[in-house]
Structure formats: structure tokens, C-alpha cells
Structure 1
Amino acid sequence: MSELPNPLIPGFNPDPSCILVAGTYYLVTSTFEYLPALPVYRSTDFVAWEHIGNVATREEQVGLAQATSAAGVWAPTIRHHDGRFHVIVSVTDSPRGCVVFTADDPAGPWSDGITLAGIAGIDPDLAWDESGAAYVTYSALELDGVEPVGFHGIQQARVDLDAGKILEEPRPMWSGTGLVAPEAPHLYRRDGYWYLIIAEGGTGQGHAVSVARSRSIEGPYEGAPNNPVLREAGWNHPVECTGHADLVRGPDGDDVLVLLGTRRAGHGSPLGRETYVTAVEWSDGWPQPAHVDLNLRPEPVEEYFDFADGSGLTDPGWLAVGRPPAELASVGEQPGRLTIRAADGGLDAFRPAFVGRRQRHLDSLFETRIDPANGRGGLGLRFTEDFTLCLVAERAPSGTGTRITARASIPTLCQSWSTEVAGDQVTLRLVTQVPSRCRAPWFPPGDRIQLIVVDDTGAETQLAEVDGRFWSVETSATFTGRVTGIFAEEGTVHFADFRYRGEGGS
């Protein structure tokens, strides 16, 4: 495998699935409680990836109205068959269940999706045998919301995709080596064998990749003699928690695995689970993945959205919680501004009036110019509704200038800092930085997060600097990652622009 960037798709992009169709790669990842759901990335060289659209752009497609944080759209599989693209996914804490979406063009539009009755579990895979019969292989985990209440291992059933039903009682499949949480099955046909790749060991430090094979798609399956074939636990590698892998032919003609992993910034993994890639060699008919290494892109990323041009939220990378961003924000209510109306409270609400973007670099800057008008809102970072950071702007009580409050919230604790600055329009800035070396390397801090306001004269005031470990995977215990953006918590708030800068090599 030639030197490929790693992470391949940075930031909150877990559970990747990838296919190669007519010389072009298409990759999808999980989105949980966020809409639009299931981003589709495209590449012709496995280096430059373009976010070309999203599978589910409407709430009705995935039924997220009541889905809690970390529930919702889990672990998709993308496949191509008979000229059509298919994405199969489980939507937890939702009436939709196991859903199959189809499209002629992976950029969309995608179908409304059809629920497969009888598939009770998560992480579904879709494969077709030599006769064209469709099979769904999945992890038969019973959930109450996001709480496990029963588990029946990896199972499989032949299905009728048009009718949305299974054609037989699900059968047990190979369920790993005995590690906890066998999940994320994917099936491949190669050299007369069907290969079954799964994840086991849990999605944290023990996450692993294991493989089995059979002459028949229905089994029985024999495990590889050296399972798990990939597990980073206990190794001094910069990428941790690797698993949930999908196999695809790489740009050099050799196989690669795309998989999820995390990387640390001091004492925490702030970006969540990202998409990585690693080389695969074959030995005695078994895949042997290499360890997953970092290969950070050296170039910075600069994004600027000027809401005066009327484009608003047309970029596919914008996210909102449980609702499409366009339902929360509009352009034109005030000339040259994007307007957000508060609905259900602040950033810590179950469904906040918040639209944001993934943080994709450890060293980053988010910035917006805000006119709070007669409302209250600002710039915020969300891991879940219980783990938030924000800068809130409102008219100063004196009637002149703007009052800014920085707020850091974790369960049972909220701390705030306030100041007043000149002007009715101010710039709010959130900066993240990798920590420098500390005196106690066995317990380093998280990344440093600075909350800054810039008044209309250009004068900067830093209201707070906080330890980012509290807004990282290890503390917030979530499947997602940092999403930072703009919000309203009371009344109507206007935004002139939004900027993101990610430093190269981070």
C-alpha cells in the first residue's frame, strides 16, 4: 500500500463502509442522532475525499424524533448490485429498525428506505450469493433504547429486499473468539471462499478485528488460526480502539481495511472515532492487516461561509440534532444574515436550535460574527447535551454593547464567565490546541480549549481556557465526536458568517 493519509476521513466519522465501483470509491459512516444522516464520501485515488451528499436528508427517512444521544443511525454498509447502490443500516431507538436505502447516484437522492421486518439487531451487512439471492448478516443485539437487554451473536437470514421481509428464520453464524460484543459483520467472496470479518472486544480499548471463512455463504465458518487478526490493545501505537473494518481493493490493487480508530490529544480523544485505513497481506488464505499508523495530512483546511451570498447551509457537512439544519436556520430574514430561532432551550436541550460541523483537527479554530438582536445565542461545542461548551451573546443590560458569557457544562456541574464588550455585532471564537508537555506525563491534560470574544474594534478578550479531556470520548462516553457550530437559546439571533480552520499535521 502506498502512503495513504491517516486518518482517511478525520473527525466524527465512525463505522466506515467502502466500495469500489468503476474506478471510484464510495464510503459512508455513522451519524447517530444527527441529521443529515450517513455522509457519502467519494474518491478516485483513496487520498482526496469529497463529501458529495448524505443518504438521509429528512427526519422521516430515519425516524430520529425521539432518539436519544448515541442512539439513532448506527453502522451502515454500502454495496453495489445490479447497477444500484444500497445502504443498509440499523436505526436504534426508532420505529424504522433495519432499513435499506437505494440510489442510482450515490450523491443522491436516495430512496425513503424500506424496513426489513424480522432483522432484530445492529450493524447489518448486505451480500448477494452466486444466484443473486440477498442475505443480511447482523449482530443480534436486543436494545431498549441504547441499553442492551439480550444478545444472540452474529446471525444471518436470506431476505426479499423489495418486500422488506426475511425469507427464513435467522440462523446463528460464527460469533468470534469469545471476546465481548461480536458485531459489525461483513461478508466477501474471494478465491472460492466466503470471508466473514467481524469486530469484537467492545468499541473501546479492547476493540479487535477477527475473521472466519466458509465455502458457503450460509456457513459453517472456520475462524482464522491467529484471531484476532488486528488488535491495538497493549501496543504503543498512536491509533487506538481499532475495529469495525470493511475490506476493499486499494488504489495499488492490494486489499486494504477501512476501519474506525481514535487518537489522543493528551488525556483524551476529542475528535471521536475517525475513519482509518491499513494495508492487508494474505497468508495461507487468511488476511493479515498491518498495525494502524498515523499519517496526518500536512496541509491546513480553511472553510469560510459568508451567509450574505445566500448559500446558507447548502454544504453537506452541516449537522443538526434530530432535525435537518434547514428547519432551524434561514437566510434572508435579515439581509446578509443567517437567522436561527430558539425553540427548546440552549445547547444542553434535547433538540437544540443548533447547526454545526465536525471538528477534524486537534489544532483548530471556529469563529462566527453574531448579532444577538433581541435574543440570546452564540457559538457552541457539543459532544452530547450533557457535555457542552459555548460562548453566548446578548444585549448588555445597560442597553449599549454586548454581554458575552462563556459556559462549560458537564453532568452536575456548570461554570460560567462573563464580560461586556462594545458594539452590537461581535466575533466569537473557539480555539483548540494540542497540550504541550507537562510535568506529569503519566497523567497529561486534554487539549486546551480557549473561549474568546472580539469586539468591533478588534480587541480580543479570552473569557476562559478549559481542559478538553471533559469533552472527549473517554469522559463523555459517547459514540460520536465534537460538533461545533452556531445556536440560539432564546429569541432570534443573526449570524453573518462562520469560519473553520484546521491546522495541518493535527
Structure 2
Amino acid sequence: MLRYALLFAFIPLVLAAQDGFHNPVIPGFHPDPSVCRVDSDYYLVTSSFEYFPGVPVFHSRDLIHWDLIGYCLTRKSQLNLEKAPSSAGIYAPTLRYHKGTFYMITTNVSGGGNFLVTASDPRGPWSDPIWIDQSGIDPSLFFDDDGKVYYTGTTPWDGSEQGIYQFEIDPATGKKLSPVRLIWKGTGGRYPEGPHLYKINGWYYLMIAEGGTEYGHMETIARSKSPWGPFDSCPRNPILTHRNVRGQSSPIQGTGHADLIQAHDGTWWLVFLAFRPVLGNWHHLGRETFLAPVVWDKEGWPLVGENGTVLPEMKAKTLQQTPETSSAFLEDFDHEKLSLEWNYLRNPDSFYYSLTDRGGWLCLKGNPYTLDSVASPAFIGIRQKHFSFIVTARMDFEPGRAGEEAGITAFMNNRFHYRLCVEKKDDGKKYVVLTHRIGSYSYEVSKTPYSGHLIWLRIAASPESYFFSFSSDGMNFTPVGTGDTRFLSSEVAGGFTGVFIGLYATGKGRTSSAPVYFDAFEYIPGDNKK
């Protein structure tokens, strides 16, 4: 048996000097970041959409190196994703800390709407939802000095005028304590969203995203002496965008949906989402979390990054940086629980998953659902975080009936993915099959007879392509086909997520008669910076 330790985020490399950092700071599908500080500890959350558990929580001491420490939504009572379409589920969360309590407020667009949960420890457990009777998305909380708490969000779904809406809220009950008011329409960009309210030096600053989460994305800001406005727009808006001449040729695009934080040393920073296109126009890793320094001009307006743009290599004085860690991920399934990196599609049924059926192996029992289903197939996956990587999974599978399959997948959504599997066909024989699912088209690229029960499945990636192969001994691999990364990009596949590399099993309409066992899974980046 191959034996690995869980090395993700646990291999110390070097202690970086305070002379710059690399973007993104959290690579892979981690959009809509929101951050808070407790003394010299920083906590950050991102959107999770149809994946479970929901709303990952990260910790950092330097705003640059982040460790995944848990999730806010780990129970179905908190997060019901049944039949949630791809890119539905959990939209942009906001994380705040006030008087010993963490508050995370977000929207389940697939059921329930806006709600908040609380915790004394960001690692959990988090409370059951406190539901809020207000439509719209991207809710945020602001705790004012006088004890009042404000809910700030987007346009209600009742035909109201586009803009940012606000009301006073009781966070203990979710009840409104004031009428809902339109407080700012933004600067004229479409989709004013992602609002956050801050109080800095006697001013209330309202920061929002405009332009839609695409190439025209931007971040704008306004201020007032009252939390209700009227808000005066910053004369340099947008304060962050790559839609301009300076940013349009950058390898980073779609900058926006930001949150502002003052560090414990008094410096200011902005976390925000952006994406990195391949071949100019295609991004498949999803929207990632980036970081930029902020300074304030003499008029009290923020200056972000390099004149409102950012670079992959940012030259700025940082907090004292913690040791960088390896981004390799090695899993041997020898532990009582799966690593925090693993996610399910929607709410999993525990009947189809086991780490105890066969010691040191993950057991998946194929259920009736396939990767094409808007349901919860037997699937676990990790985010693709690098353009170049090699993933290898060791699998033991002897399908009992025709149609049963199990394997590995590069998965964007139920209509756009590649899968390499072992499948039993109608002739009673087993084959290694590579299938492309591209929109309404699903076709077998290759079908290779295979008689053994133990097999190594591999996906290698470059920025432009995936390469699929298999081996009977773990050393000599047989190529079976390729797939373009652009067909799994948001520009082709649509939606707001990014590619996962996953393990799966299916009985195609019924529960599989035989389980599949995975002994080892390794994700080795080709280049940590790309």
C-alpha cells in the first residue's frame, strides 16, 4: 500500500522577507473573499456555490499565506443544496468579528435566501441559520460604534431600482429594526453588488463592485458622514479595475468584489477576486483570491495597488511573512476523516462513502446519479489550483454489472467535464474509457480493454490541455487522449465556479453492485507560481 502523509499546508519551505508577494494568494476557485481580523490573526471566507461543506474558512498571520481551517456550513440543517443547479447554492459571504463572536452572512440562492450563522471559534461549530426576510444577494454586516448593526445588500428581487439597499438589523434574531432604504446607486456600472460599509476616521465608506464579475469588473467607493448617506463618489473611481488600458493586457482580469482590512501594524489591504485567462480569453481555474496594498491620499481616499491595478508579483512592504508551505496534496485515506480540501457535490449521502470498510482505502459506492446529474453523485474533489499539475489515483475496482463505472474526473459542472474511468460494458468486459462531456455532446474518446482490478489513473495538465493515461503498475503509463482546458472555462461552460479534480463512482440509474476503493491520491503542481 502506498503511504503518504497529508502534506498540504504542512511542509515548511522558506521564510520570505517583507519585500513583496505573489498573486493570487489563494489560488483556484475561491471567489468573493471577505476578511476580518482578531488581534494579529486574520480570517477569510469565500463563496462555495453547489459544493459541500459550504463557505471555506481560512486563517493567516500575514494576509499572504492562508491555511484552510474549516467551513461555516457543515450540516444539511445549515445548507440544503438538494437539486441546486450548477453555480447556484451559496453566493458571496461576509465575515465579521464583534465582541467575541464571528458572524458569517450569506445567501443560499437555491433555498431560503439570506441568513447568518455565528461561532465563537471560526473553526466551528457554527450555529444554525438565522434567516433574514430580505431578498437580494451579497449581504454584509457593519457594527457601528453606537451599538447599531446595519445590513447592506443588493437590489431586492421585487422590481426595485438597481442599487445598494440597507436597514438596521438585530443580528441575534435577523429582524429588521428600520425601513429598507436605497443608499447608493453606484457610478453607473451594471450590477452594483458586493457592498461593504466601513467607518474610518469619522467617515462612512461604502465600497461596492460594479460591471459584473467578468472582464469589465471594477471596484468603486463612496463616503458620507452618515451610514444612510448621501454618499459622495470617489473622484478616481473605479479604485480597482483591469478594464482599462493599463490592465487589459495583464494576465490578471476581472478584478473586483473586494473587502478592506486594516492590519495590526496599521497598514491597509484589499482582498478581492480576479481570474487568470489562458490563451487570452479562457479561464478555467475559477475566480481566485488576490491581495493588494492600500494607502490613503491626503483627501482621505484609498489608492489600491499600482494605480488601481495589480500584478502577479507585487512589490510592497508586507507584514512579517510566515513560512511558505508546499502546495502538493498527498492523501492515503488512512485517517478517520477526509482532509478539509475535499468537497462533495451538494449534500452527500454517507451510505455511499466509507473510510472504514477497508482500512487505508476510501470506499465509494456508486449511486444512481452520474456526473451529468443535477444531484449528489458519489464524488469527492479538490480544487485545481495550478495550470500545470499531475494527479495520480490508485484504484481497485471490479464492476459487477454493465454500466457501472468509477474513476477520476476534471470537472467544471454537470455539462462540462472529462472523466477517465473503468467501466463494464454490455459485452461483459472491462474497459478504460475516456469520455468528454461538452454541453449537449457526450462521447467516448477512447476505449481500451483492461483485465486487472488494480489500476492507476492519471490526469496531467498544462495551461492549454489535460492529458489522460493509465497504468497497471504505477510506473508505466499508457496515454489515452487529451482535452482542451478551454472547454471547461467559464467562457464556454458558463457559471461562477472552477475546475475540480475528483474521484467518483456511479451505477447509472441504480446503486452499484460493487464498490470501488481508492488507496492513494496525489496532486503534484508543475509550477507553484502558475
Deviations 1:316-367 (A, max 9, x none): 1111111148564211223432111222322111122211000111111222
| Contact 2:39–2:264 (CA under 8 A) maintained in structure 1 | no
Taking a change above 3 Å as real, the CA distance of residues 399 and 325 of structure 1, as seen in their structure-2 partners, is same
Taking a change above 3 Å as real, the CA distance of residues 121 and 398 of structure 1, as seen in their structure-2 partners, is closer
| Contact 2:164–2:195 (CA under 8 A) maintained in structure 1 | yes
Who is 2:407 aligned against?
378
Who is 1:240 aligned against?
253
Taking a change above 3 Å as real, the CA distance of residues 326 and 189 of structure 1, as seen in their structure-2 partners, is farther
Give the superposition deviation at 1:4.
Answer: 2.3
Taking a change above 3 Å as real, the CA distance of residues 263 and 141 of structure 1, as seen in their structure-2 partners, is farther
Alignment match of 1:429 (pick from 458, 469, 487)? 458
User: Is 1:302 aligned to residue 328 of structure 2?
Assistant: yes
User: Is 1:369 aligned to residue 369 of structure 2?
Assistant: no
Count of equivalent residues: 484
Taking a change above 3 Å as real, the CA distance of residues 150 and 389 of structure 1, as seen in their structure-2 partners, is farther
Who is 2:274 aligned against?
261
Give the superposition deviation at 1:299.
Answer: 7.4
Taking a change above 3 Å as real, the CA distance of residues 237 and 318 of structure 1, as seen in their structure-2 partners, is same
Who is 2:318 aligned against?
none
Name the CA distance, whole Å, in 2 between partners of 1:222 and 1:254. Answer: 24
Alignment match of 1:355 (pick from 380, 397, 413)? 380
What secondary structure, in the 3-state scheme, does the structure 2 residue paired with 1:8 have? coil
Deviations 1:186-217 (A, max 9, x none): 01110110100000011101100000001111
Alignment match of 1:200 (pick from 210, 229, 237)? 210
Counterparts of 1:64-83 in structure 2, within 5 Å, are: 64-83=81-100
Counterparts of 1:470-481 in structure 2, within 5 Å, are: 470-481=487-498
Counterparts of 1:193-342 in structure 2, within 5 Å, are: 193-234=203-244, 235=247, 236-250=249-263, 253-266=266-279, 267-283=281-297, 284-290=299-305, 291-295=309-313, 301-307=327-333, 309-313=334-338, 315-324=339-348, 326=350, 328-342=352-366
Deviations 1:365-417 (A, max 9, x none): 222111222242110121110111111113577878x5110011111212311
Alignment match of 1:140 (pick from 155, 164, 180)? 155
| Contact 2:186–2:208 (CA under 8 A) maintained in structure 1 | yes
Name the CA distance, whole Å, in 1 between partners of 2:397 and 2:68. Answer: 32
Amino acid at match of 1:410: I
Amino acid at match of 1:31: S
User: Is 1:128 aligned to residue 143 of structure 2?
Assistant: yes
What secondary structure, in the 3-state scheme, does the structure 2 residue paired with 1:203 have? coil
| Contact 1:196–1:213 (CA under 8 A) maintained in structure 2 | yes
Amino acid at match of 1:505: K
User: Is 1:468 aligned to residue 497 of structure 2?
Assistant: no
What secondary structure, in the 3-state scheme, does the structure 2 residue paired with 1:470 have? helix
User: Is 1:499 aligned to residue 522 of structure 2?
Assistant: yes
Taking a change above 3 Å as real, the CA distance of residues 310 and 285 of structure 1, as seen in their structure-2 partners, is closer
Alignment match of 1:346 (pick from 357, 360, 370)? 370
Name the CA distance, whole Å, in 1 between partners of 2:265 and 2:483. Answer: 44
Deviations 1:75-127 (A, max 9, x none): 000001111010010110212x111110000011111121112x211001101
Amino acid at match of 1:461: T
Taking a change above 3 Å as real, the CA distance of residues 151 and 273 of structure 1, as seen in their structure-2 partners, is farther
| Contact 2:91–2:109 (CA under 8 A) maintained in structure 1 | yes
| Contact 2:80–2:347 (CA under 8 A) maintained in structure 1 | no
Who is 1:112 aligned against?
128
Name the CA distance, whole Å, in 2 between partners of 1:31 and 1:299. Answer: 24
Give the superposition deviation at 1:2.
Answer: 4.3
User: Where in structure 2 are there 5+ consecutive unaligned residues?
Assistant: 1-17, 315-322
Who is 1:443 aligned against?
none
What secondary structure, in the 3-state scheme, does the structure 1 residue paired with 2:492 have? helix
Amino acid at match of 1:337: W
Taking a change above 3 Å as real, the CA distance of residues 150 and 473 of structure 1, as seen in their structure-2 partners, is farther
User: Is 1:488 aligned to residue 519 of structure 2?
Assistant: no
| Contact 1:15–1:245 (CA under 8 A) maintained in structure 2 | yes
What secondary structure, in the 3-state scheme, does the structure 2 residue paired with 1:60 have? coil
Name the CA distance, whole Å, in 2 between partners of 1:486 and 1:25. Answer: 32
Amino acid at match of 1:373: E
Name the CA distance, whole Å, in 2 between partners of 1:382 and 1:453. Answer: 18
What secondary structure, in the 3-state scheme, does the structure 1 residue paired with 2:487 have? helix
Give the superposition deviation at 1:164.
Answer: 2.0
Amino acid at match of 1:394: E
Name the CA distance, whole Å, in 2 between partners of 1:150 and 1:407. Answer: 46
| Contact 2:456–2:474 (CA under 8 A) maintained in structure 1 | no
Who is 1:440 aligned against?
none
Name the CA distance, whole Å, in 1 between partners of 2:292 and 2:283. Answer: 20
| Contact 1:299–1:505 (CA under 8 A) maintained in structure 2 | no
What secondary structure, in the 3-state scheme, does the structure 2 residue paired with 1:202 have? coil
Name the CA distance, whole Å, in 1 between partners of 2:351 and 2:223. Answer: 47
Who is 2:317 aligned against?
none
| Contact 1:28–1:40 (CA under 8 A) maintained in structure 2 | yes
| Contact 1:35–1:325 (CA under 8 A) maintained in structure 2 | no
What secondary structure, in the 3-state scheme, does the structure 2 residue paired with 1:59 have? coil
What secondary structure, in the 3-state scheme, does the structure 2 residue paired with 1:318 have? coil
Name the CA distance, whole Å, in 2 between partners of 1:464 and 1:403. Answer: 14
Give the superposition deviation at 1:457.
Answer: 6.8
Who is 2:192 aligned against?
182
What secondary structure, in the 3-state scheme, does the structure 2 residue paired with 1:243 have? strand
Name the CA distance, whole Å, in 2 between partners of 1:176 and 1:288. Answer: 18
What secondary structure, in the 3-state scheme, does the structure 2 residue paired with 1:69 have? coil
User: Is 1:406 aligned to residue 434 of structure 2?
Assistant: yes
Amino acid at match of 1:105: D
Deviations 1:16-62 (A, max 9, x none): 00111111000000000110000000011223211000000112202
Deviations 1:126-147 (A, max 9, x none): 011221111100012429xxxx
Amino acid at match of 1:256: W
Instruction: Compute the RMSD of aligned alpha carbons.
Output: 2.1
